[in-house]
Structure 1
């Protein structure tokens, strides 16, 4: 039994997803064993597989440092780049690097590259004067975040670093707001003496949760924001941009609202908070502000919100465990398995599509409940986290062992082996066929792809087989749908009501493969009540009458034809 338990634990860690992050058109997943998987659009190397080819299903990213397997503990996806944090505090990056968001002074990276810049920096929280460089302690990162064209990191003493396309003051901007490119991580000195606990960023704005005192005590977080504010995405009551962090008054020190999660879309922000005044510590509220053109704020209107406002329309007395923002949509998840989305095109994030007509068309200005189809529904069991890309949404549920996705499907961003859009949750291909990838030789040693393997060819072969299986499944579903319609029509005409699962004859529910139709017919008659037998008799009489009439008409037609021929 102990051996079986050990095997189960190993399987659990390798197949269990503990975190996900979505970029513009790609998704990253982290397993309990510290492996990173990626899928979706491969342009600019954002998948880290060594090529720019798309992947229709999760592919494991192999990273070795000095022939040592790197174990990751966190992932973050920007618009076109990716970050991963290793258990030793090192940060790896790959993908788009035009603005230095990889922390590298160079071109785009097709495979994960170690950010050496952090080795040359000391934590700003470890000394009291910027000139006291001799007392700096080695910097180790404890958390990462990416958004748009920028990257952020929180080190092990709670200091915040930012690089890429950052909101900074430049000599050419005459003191006004601007975005400055930097491949060297820059410390945010405003929070010196405090602990940055969480951070999120959009295209050009940043929101951070920072301790009121020097250390975080569990319920003393203050919410700051800075950057571009042309749509009110900073939640400060105006549209003036900020180069320096400012406190969002609604979530300042002494506020009854305790913020515990934050997410940024391109031009809007969403927060999850608890009301300290309430005795119910399990009920949370989602607050949104910023751009509202497509209903991404969930406030029932398309107007912008310059100050945080609570989202109505969610179930009462629920604890929200995860929130994320796409380009123009937002999603939240409750601990009970409820999932809501709102924003562009029914909360899917898709651009208006000709296939949406009538009541199906239009943006969702208020939260729409997303239902889980199949045997799991309508709630998603064991919800873990939701992630929103530009126009797709990915949900980790079943305690980390299943992935659902919906929205835009181009480039395989949904991870279900297809490139078509999904307007309802579909199950992604998880866990992946690990042995197929291992045998393919897609190893990377010190960031160099091993081209001796047969990985690309094997992946293409798998994609071909998967495409054939998908087409076969589509045809079978089409046939099944036609048979269901025929059975329902026949059943309704006989018994006067639609066909339901409990009406299925018992012999079809057995696995014998054969049955005696006469015996089963007799059994059905024996089990039927008086009303059902009456309807059956009437149908049988009408059927016989109709058949006799048709036979008579056919015979008359034949006689007339014979006469005409002669």
Structure 2
């Protein structure tokens, strides 16, 4: 190996550094040896224990360059993102402490079947759960909501004991082991079979269909094979896809006539193939390209017809205007549309089966209009045809009329071909995809098309982000807290422990924060972090008494008592505001300018084991709070705004520059539905969709075309139909009901996302942020949470907040790799 040997003394010292205690020892004793590679095994002893955790720490500190195992990427990349970094180390420590029972990479293995729709993908795991990703405009992912593209796999909750899945153009099917069929997605033609034509975003049971052993989905219709050998169909039927003798659509299953003793079915775009117990092939539906194999190119057949003189067939496959069969001897036969040379001859249409003689030993075949894919008995995958968007998986964009092997295959067990992409499952249960990806159908987290297989990892969506001065926090869908950026004050709730030994307090790579409780909400502000847990406990983290504003060198966290029922929290430079469900506002920290709002300048920062709270004076029926640098803002349920604290920039909107020790109503603001506080200025959103601003305007953050401060609210120029506002440090953002994003104010590092470093005195539209879920702003940088759960950042890379790995800035929004 390239890595150098390490001494026992060094190893012991490293173990000591990471505090391998009795808990670790107990985990070691339970480690199970095995003869195959183990995730987390870095020293080659076929088990994961504290020694491996120590080796990972040494690797991250630069003490070693590699590990004593042959496949170190498989072993060390425990979260499955193809990187070896502090995130993997954090997961290793969680495993040793018993906080998790398996690594994230493991959770995305165990697939047994995959089905590719037009722009979406469905995968079945051996535990009977179903995972989906890709295009979701019609609810075809079954996740409860339609519209949002999912770029990574998500589990369909409540759908269990599934033994097979099928993907139509815009709908999906699942067969349970009890013989019932479930459907979801597009239903205009009744293809869900639930006696309606209503789109379903979650699985519904197909009516009156039991004892089913096989299913498949065409473009806009569905078919099922029952235990008694009968075939049933429903949905679009103009060309006779149901095989019931008519061309009338049906939203309930109807029996296909004229066939019995069927053992296998396959649905193409608009036709169906069936194999009977005597190994004969039957076809019905569309036949205009010869795809029924009956020697003609008839428009359609509404009653099944047997292919004459074509026997000893092992399996059949219907594609897009093309069909295929594998005979018992492993030979491959294809018929139908031959525009792109799938059959290996020069005829545009072949209405009878044609043997593809240059490939044999076939186990399974998949087809679409442009290409074919064959799985051989040796586990290799071979593709040929037109190579649109790299669908052949050959690493190029060139067409291939001759079957060519897809690199990296050899242990494949399952293949599936959609209209634009392909998927395979290997013998180890991992799932690989390639091809067109504009709708995220490859499940690899982006939208770039791929010309060769890539594995699907266990990335989880981010549900919320928050920016401090130089650090960032994020909560994922599993309620795990992630942190990165500056850690001078230990505001990252450091679990990895690298900063003291590496000489750097900056984390350019996000890491998972150790916690025994699920995280409900986060607030990152200046140089500290506030966390609200699911049990409603509120904790503040920092290394100095920064909330109090002094230099007391003590390590927090401190629990804030008395905040049960907290509904909103906001953190200023040296104070905290908390809103409880009783409508009252509670505060703590520095009150030099009266920002605590209790009528005094008494600080409430006496730390023991808890945090000392006070109550803002005279405020009731509050629905939202916002803390600026040294001032405070509250919104009442009657639409009025109340402010207190520092007022040197007019940020209280009282018509003067006098600070206030207790809340007073802001002038000129009525029918307000949202507030946001920046450094020394504020934004307010009216019910009519207009935005109003007041306070400091040095960088144009008020958006009224000037740089003059104002102590009364002014309307932001040119904005209407706004539904969300964000006041950053000195940069402002607004989101319209159509998802458009507008930005203005400070832009010295490109933090507005408009590709320049020019301050904007009036709002400019930011196309890169369109369709985002939320925006947060730090010290000259901006983080944007997109609807698909990805995070993009722009501006300064101070302390590595952009995860670029160097201290620089980006004028163009880039994706932030959370995991």
Q: Partners in 1 of 2:422 and 2:787 — Cα distance?
A: 25
Aligned to 2:268: 202
After TM superposition, give the deviation of residue 420 of structure 1 in Å. 0.7
Deviation digits for residues 234-270 of structure 1 (CA, Å, limit 9, x no counterpart): 111111232211111242xxx4xx3222221120011
The 3-state SS of whatever aligns with 1:390 is coil
Aligned to 2:419: 390
Q: Partners in 1 of 2:113 and 2:284 — Cα distance?
A: 27
Q: Partners in 1 of 2:172 and 2:455 — Cα distance?
A: 24
Aligned to 1:494: none
Q: Does the 8 Å contact 2:326/2:332 carry over to 1?
A: yes
Deviation digits for residues 434-466 of structure 1 (CA, Å, limit 9, x no counterpart): 9955559xxxxxxxxxxx999x99995852279
Matched, 1:243 2:278: no
After TM superposition, give the deviation of residue 177 of structure 1 in Å. 8.7
After TM superposition, give the deviation of residue 13 of structure 1 in Å. 9.5
Matched, 1:332 2:374: yes
Q: Partners in 1 of 2:788 and 2:193 — Cα distance?
A: 36
* Residue from 312, 317, 328 that aligns with 1:274: 328
Deviation digits for residues 76-102 of structure 1 (CA, Å, limit 9, x no counterpart): 001110000112111111011011000
Q: Partners in 2 of 1:420 and 1:12 — Cα distance?
A: 25
Structure showing greater relative contact order (alpha-carbon pairs closer than 8 Å, 6 or more residues apart): 1
After TM superposition, give the deviation of residue 415 of structure 1 in Å. 1.0
Q: Partners in 1 of 2:272 and 2:461 — Cα distance?
A: 38
Going from structure 1 to structure 2, the CA distance change for 1:408 and 1:346 (only over 3 Å counts) comes to closer
Matched, 1:285 2:339: no
Going from structure 1 to structure 2, the CA distance change for 1:45 and 1:26 (only over 3 Å counts) comes to same
Aligned to 2:49: none
Going from structure 1 to structure 2, the CA distance change for 1:141 and 1:383 (only over 3 Å counts) comes to same
Deviation digits for residues 93-131 of structure 1 (CA, Å, limit 9, x no counterpart): 10110110000213111111122332xxxxxxxxxxxxx
Q: Could you say which structure has the higher strand fraction?
A: 2
Q: Partners in 1 of 2:364 and 2:133 — Cα distance?
A: 22
Give unmatched runs, 5+ long, in structure 1.
65-69, 119-138, 212-219, 276-283, 373-379, 441-451, 476-566
Deviation digits for residues 407-445 of structure 1 (CA, Å, limit 9, x no counterpart): 1011111111110111222222259799955559xxxxx
Matched, 1:304 2:349: yes
Q: Partners in 1 of 2:177 and 2:108 — Cα distance?
A: 16
Correspondence list, 1:401-440, <5 A: 401-429=429-457, 437-439=477-479
Aligned to 1:98: 188
Aligned to 1:518: none
Q: Does the 8 Å contact 1:103/1:183 carry over to 2?
A: yes
After TM superposition, give the deviation of residue 168 of structure 1 in Å. 6.4
The 3-state SS of whatever aligns with 1:15 is coil
TM-score, structure 2 normalization:
0.43
Aligned to 1:221: 279
Q: Partners in 2 of 1:273 and 1:437 — Cα distance?
A: 47
After TM superposition, give the deviation of residue 167 of structure 1 in Å. 5.5
After TM superposition, give the deviation of residue 474 of structure 1 in Å. 13
Correspondence list, 1:457-496, <5 A: 462-464=789-791
Aligned to 1:491: none
The 3-state SS of whatever aligns with 2:289 is coil
Across the aligned residues of Structure 1 and Structure 2, the Cα RMSD in angstroms comes to 3.9
Going from structure 1 to structure 2, the CA distance change for 1:461 and 1:41 (only over 3 Å counts) comes to closer
Q: Does the 8 Å contact 2:386/2:400 carry over to 1?
A: yes
Q: Does the 8 Å contact 2:141/2:185 carry over to 1?
A: yes
Going from structure 1 to structure 2, the CA distance change for 1:474 and 1:404 (only over 3 Å counts) comes to farther
Going from structure 1 to structure 2, the CA distance change for 1:5 and 1:83 (only over 3 Å counts) comes to farther
Correspondence list, 1:42-61, <5 A: 42-51=136-145, 52-61=147-156
* Residue from 142, 165, 169 that aligns with 2:213: 142
Matched, 1:365 2:404: no
Q: Partners in 1 of 2:197 and 2:112 — Cα distance?
A: 32
Q: Partners in 1 of 2:391 and 2:429 — Cα distance?
A: 25
Q: Partners in 1 of 2:793 and 2:183 — Cα distance?
A: 30
The 3-state SS of whatever aligns with 1:235 is coil
Q: Partners in 2 of 1:176 and 1:197 — Cα distance?
A: 19
The 3-state SS of whatever aligns with 2:331 is strand
Deviation digits for residues 165-215 of structure 1 (CA, Å, limit 9, x no counterpart): 125679xxxx99974310110111312xx321111111221100112xxxx
Correspondence list, 1:514-529, <5 A: none
Q: Partners in 2 of 1:156 and 1:176 — Cα distance?
A: 19
Q: Does the 8 Å contact 2:239/2:270 carry over to 1?
A: no
Deviation digits for residues 285-328 of structure 1 (CA, Å, limit 9, x no counterpart): 11110001122x241436211110111332x5x3x222111242
Aligned to 2:525: none
After TM superposition, give the deviation of residue 406 of structure 1 in Å. 1.2
Q: Does the 8 Å contact 1:342/1:366 carry over to 2?
A: yes
Q: Partners in 2 of 1:466 and 1:437 — Cα distance?
A: 20
Q: Does the 8 Å contact 2:189/2:197 carry over to 1?
A: no
Going from structure 1 to structure 2, the CA distance change for 1:249 and 1:44 (only over 3 Å counts) comes to same
Q: Greater Rg, structure 1 or structure 2? A: 2
Aligned to 1:116: 207
Going from structure 1 to structure 2, the CA distance change for 1:421 and 1:243 (only over 3 Å counts) comes to same
Q: Partners in 2 of 1:90 and 1:80 — Cα distance?
A: 21
Matched, 1:185 2:253: yes
The 3-state SS of whatever aligns with 1:419 is coil
Q: Could you say which structure has the higher helix fraction?
A: 1
The 3-state SS of whatever aligns with 1:47 is coil
Q: Partners in 2 of 1:430 and 1:102 — Cα distance?
A: 30
Going from structure 1 to structure 2, the CA distance change for 1:179 and 1:141 (only over 3 Å counts) comes to same
Deviation digits for residues 124-148 of structure 1 (CA, Å, limit 9, x no counterpart): xxxxxxxxxxxxxxx3212111011
Q: Partners in 2 of 1:17 and 1:321 — Cα distance?
A: 19
Q: Partners in 1 of 2:306 and 2:168 — Cα distance?
A: 25
Q: Does the 8 Å contact 1:341/1:347 carry over to 2?
A: no
Going from structure 1 to structure 2, the CA distance change for 1:461 and 1:420 (only over 3 Å counts) comes to closer
Aligned residues: 389
* Residue from 218, 237, 257 that aligns with 1:166: 237
After TM superposition, give the deviation of residue 368 of structure 1 in Å. 2.5
Going from structure 1 to structure 2, the CA distance change for 1:472 and 1:413 (only over 3 Å counts) comes to farther
Q: Partners in 1 of 2:224 and 2:31 — Cα distance?
A: 40
Q: Does the 8 Å contact 1:321/1:385 carry over to 2?
A: no
The 3-state SS of whatever aligns with 1:289 is strand
